[in-house]
Amino acid sequence: MSVPARSAHALQRESRRLRGHAVGWWHALQLAAQILVLVLTPASYSGGRSRRIMAHLVHAVLPLLPWFLVLSVLISLVIIRIVTATAESYGLSQYALEVLVRTLVLELIPLTAALFVALRHAMPGAEQLRAQLDARQRAGGHIPGIEGLAGVLLPRAIAGVHSVVLLAALSGVVALVLTYFMVYGTSPWALGFYSHDVGGVFTPVVALIFGLKTLFFSLAVAVVPLAGAAEPDAHGRFIPRSDMTEFARLFSVLLLVEIVSLVGNYY
């Protein structure tokens, strides 16, 4: 094969790969939008779906809660100690609390909660769903559309959103409590100053951006893996796909949300 022919073949292969990625993203966005419509539709909660939703909520939170709280405590203690010691060594102790709240509570905890729920609950659940669809397809069963999968997708999506929001809220409270004890000790007399300083960080704009970022993190974790699981390949099959591909798609969405929140907070 000549050099121009090899170049043309490589160009066609790269074009097919990029087209496949674009089609996959478009299909995932369509499925994600349809899942969100199901979440907002009251009829989706009729029948026995409410019991399934509650069961998924419990399954999504209880196994993760102890481990995530332990992880958040360890991370918080390390970061609090590093920031306070560094600020003290440079004579900037008055800025340590604001730095801790902004880096730990506003930025690290929501992202950590989203990644933890994604790796421990959302992605394994999506992989299990895709395996069930593949087994059903191999057995000759009919694969319904997104409306037919509402009873399966809706409880998983709501459980993912609830898990991320709850873990982020609880770990944020734990981090704030640990920050107080690490900075001021057990004395209750600094509580007023501490509340004033923390409230100075959480301005209305910052609080709004923090809430929206946590919400969009939870929606991404809940919807993107499920959209990928319900997406057939180019041959209409539901064979298992690479976990790294699915994680890269989810992480790119989380990174985009994080960048937008940083721009809103600091520019």
> Confidence class of residue 151 from pLDDT cuts 50, 70 and 90?
low
- pLDDT-derived band at 114 (thresholds 50, 70, 90) equals very high
Residue with tokens 């933890």: 116
pLDDT at 93 over 60: yes
Measured CA to CA, the distance from residue 98 to residue 212 in angstroms comes to 21
> CB of 120 within 8 A of CB of 64?
yes
What average pLDDT does the structure give for the chain? Answer: 82
Q: CA angle, 59 as apex, 55 and 65 as ends, to 5°? A: 140
The pLDDT assigned to 146 comes to 59
- Per residue in 32-73, pLDDT (tens digit) is 777 777 777 777 777 667 788 888 888 888 889 999 999 999
Top pLDDT among 9 and 127 is at 127
User: Cα separation of 56 and 104, whole Å?
Assistant: 29
For the chain, helix, strand, coil in percent to 5 are 85, 0, 15
Tell me the one-letter amino acid at 206: V
The per-residue pLDDT for 144 is 63
H/E segment holding residue 116: helix 109-117
Per the CB < 8 A criterion, the answer to whether 222 and 153 are in contact is no
For 156-197, the pLDDT digits (tens) are 888 898 999 999 999 999 999 998 888 888 888 888 888 888
Task: Assign 2 a pLDDT band (cuts: 50, 70, 90).
Answer: low
Angle subtended at Cα 161 by Cα 263 and Cα 251, rounded to the nearest 5 degrees: 50
Separation in Å, CA 162 to CA 165, 216, 218, 219? 5, 12, 7, 9
What percentage of residues in the chain have a pLDDT greater than 70?
84
What is the SS3 assignment for 204?
helix
**Contact call for residues 110 and 68 (beta carbons, < 8 A):** no
Residues 136, 5: Cα–Cα separation, whole Å: 43
With CA atoms as reference, report the closest residue to 63 among 128, 127, 126, 120: 120
CB 83 within 8 A of CB 96: yes
The string of DSSP letters for 123-138 reads: HHHHHHHHHHHHHHHH
* Average pLDDT estimate for 228-248: 72
Mean predicted confidence (pLDDT) in 208-225:
91
Question: What is the reported pTM?
Answer: 0.86
| pLDDT at residue 117 is higher than 90 | yes
Quick one: tokens of 156?
């998983």
Both tokens of 252, joined, read 């790119």
